[in-house]
Chain A
Amino acid sequence: MTVKVVYDVKPIIKALNELEPGLKKQMVREFKVESKDMVRDISSTIRDLTPPPGSTGHSGRLSWESGKYKSSVMKPDNVIPRFRASRSRRFAVTALFAIWVRNPMVALTGTIGKGSMTPRRSVTREYAWKDRTRSHKLNGQGKKLLQAVNDNTGRNWFYRQAEKSMPDVEHKVKLVWEKYSAKVTRRL
């Protein structure tokens, strides 16, 4: 998946608001309009998924119906477009506009089962336990979860679904960005 990168975001946004207060808000609204179909498609895909065994019938962190994201309850089809212009202290290239799936169990199944399905080790790494360290044998639980997700839910569904409409949405969003940035580029 190729990523379109734009530069000088902060000064452009600042100049936009100086030019006319509310322009940035308007731009973000247009971004969301352009990505609406993609969001809807991903949400409907999630609604069609079969929850992995053990993820339903409770309200824990990894609940399918009401998973917790930063102590907020998230429905499985909670998919949002998000605009973030804040900078990162670790990465130079970060998402300016992205689609987020925040239910942890749904997110887990979105990327789960990409590996060979064969555990790399038979015992865990050592971890701290009661003033000492210990490790334990792997009981195959993880492998069974992967198998269950593969059999019932389907693996790597999120990015496959996103990639279907991504080029089109990317292009449209980039056009919106260029439209707004052109308003202030001359001034910059």
Chain B
Amino acid sequence: MSLIAKILSKFDDSGIRKAKSGFDGLKVGLAAFAGSAAFSALKQVGDIMIDASKAAMADKKSTELLNSQLTKNAHATKEQIKQNNKFIDTLSNQVGIVDDELRPAQAKLARATGSVTQSQKLLRLALDASAVSGKPLNNVADALSKAFVGNKSQLIRLFPALKESKNLFADLQKQVEGAALQQADPFSKLNVALDNMKEKLGYSVLPYVEDFIDKLIAPGGAVDAVNQFFDDVGNPKTDAGKAFKNFGMIVDRSVRQIKDAFAIFGKGDSLKGFENVLNILSQISTVLKNISDFINPLVIAINLIKDAQKNGFLPGGPEAPKPKISPQKQSPQIIVNVQSADPKAVVSAVNNYVKQNGGLPGAWSLTKKGK
């Protein structure tokens, strides 16, 4: 902490602009990088690393399995186990078969023989026999291990010439010795070499992968955090649980209100109420349709009547404008329509006129109309 009393200040926004452009550039750069060859190359490298670490894991697992078998069945010392690992690596490179296949075969033989040296010898023999017979190494190793404990049938099935043999393994060795080395394909050797290289790369990455996994599953790690979240959601005492509970209560209340509303129409049964509401709505719809069907021709008829009145075909139409009559031209006549010129009716009409108008015009005449 320090105290600063500014005496003179400067304005310079180039730093802010640079920071902003740098950030924009970073975004553009990231976008470009994501679509670039470098990114795909990096992804490939990542994939290779993952493959390598997987291969290393598998190799580690098979090695540990074999070592435990040698320890338990052949009472192998640490030094013997170390030498055996070297033997497997050398053999794998010589015959072009990956160590992950050799180790289970040797484990099988070690279980039968109870000796590291014997299992190594039989493994070599199994490899030669496999190369000659074309059968998988696992099957041959199985047959050899059974033969070692006295069950010769499987081995004789593979090599019928051994049926009369008194020393199975010596005779088999005479038949097949060196076949594996002879038939070792250079490409298989290359594959083994590449596989070993991949495993070595994987071994260098493996500690980091294991460390990552340990951290992931360690107490308080990511897995725990996710689990904790779900636990919290389920626990109404936590904030997450409270929020989730409130949400659930709101949803529950809304659903209940809707159910109650429908129950009114179903005498307490919301489902029946819903059905009734649907029926009512359906009936209302039908009634509305009928009304509409009735009103439509009525409207058409009314319009026709209106048109007829307008055109004068029917009474009740709009009155024609009355012509204006000037006072000078007004006729001093009273026209009385009486049937058959009844004098009483004429007098009555005139009297009415006088009552209404207060007198008769100066000069007027009666016109007789009708019969």
Contacts and interface: CB of A to CB of B under 8 A. Distances in A.
Nearest to A82: B4
A94 B2 contact: no
Nearest to A79: B3
B10 interface: yes
A69 B9 contact: no
Interface in B215-261: 219-220
Contacts of A166: 5, 7
A6 B1 CA distance: 26
B365 interface: no
Contacts of A99: 4-5, 7
Given A3-B6, A95-B6, A131-B220, A87 B1 contact: no
A166 B8 CA distance: 10
Contact of B7 (A90, A92, A102, A169): A169
B3 A100 contact: yes
A131 B3 contact: no
A132 B228 CA distance: 12
A87 B7 contact: no
Contacts of A35: 7
Interface string B1-42: 111111111111111101100000000000000000000000
Contacts of A170: 7-8
A110 interface: yes
Interface in B113-156: none
Contacts of B10: 5-7, 9, 85, 93-96
Nearest to A12: B10
Contacts, number: 106
Contacts of B13: 92
A178 to B, nearest CB: 11
Nearest to A62: B1
A110 B3 contact: yes
A107 B19 CA distance: 30
A8 to B, nearest CB: 9
B312 to A, nearest CB: 87
Contact of A101 (B3, B6, B219): B3
Contacts of A23: none
A93 B8 CA distance: 10
Nearest to A9: B10
Contacts of A162: 5
A174 interface: yes
A31 to B, nearest CB: 8
B15 A4 contact: no
A87 B15 contact: yes
B9 A90 contact: no
A87 B8 contact: no
A173 interface: yes
A96 B7 CA distance: 8
Contacts of A139: none
B5 A88 contact: no
Contacts of A107: 1-3
A170 B219 CA distance: 60
B18 A3 contact: no
Nearest to B12: A87
B3 A96 contact: no
Contacts of A111: 3
Contact of B9 (A81, A96, A100, A131): A96
A117 interface: no
A112 to B, nearest CB: 11
A87 B14 contact: yes
Contacts of B11: 5-7, 92-93
A110 B2 CA distance: 9
A174 B10 CA distance: 11
Nearest to A84: B10
A167 to B, nearest CB: 10
Given A87-B14, A87-B15, A90-B16, A5 B9 contact: yes
Interface of B: 1-16, 18-19, 219-220
Given A9-B12, A89-B19, 4 more contacts: A90-B16, A99-B4, A131-B220, A174-B8
Interface of A: 1, 3-7, 9-10, 31, 35, 38, 42, 69, 81, 85, 87-102, 104, 106-108, 110-111, 131-132, 158-159, 162, 166, 169-170, 173-174, 177
22 contacts: A5-B9, A7-B11, A10-B14, A31-B7, A38-B7, A87-B12, A87-B18, A88-B16, A89-B16, A89-B18, A90-B15, A91-B16, A93-B11, A96-B9, A98-B5, A102-B2, A104-B1, A131-B219, A158-B3, A162-B5, A166-B7, A173-B8
What are the 6 A-B residue pairs with the smallest beta carbon separation, nearest first?
Answer: A87-B15, A92-B13, A162-B5, A89-B19, A101-B3, A96-B10
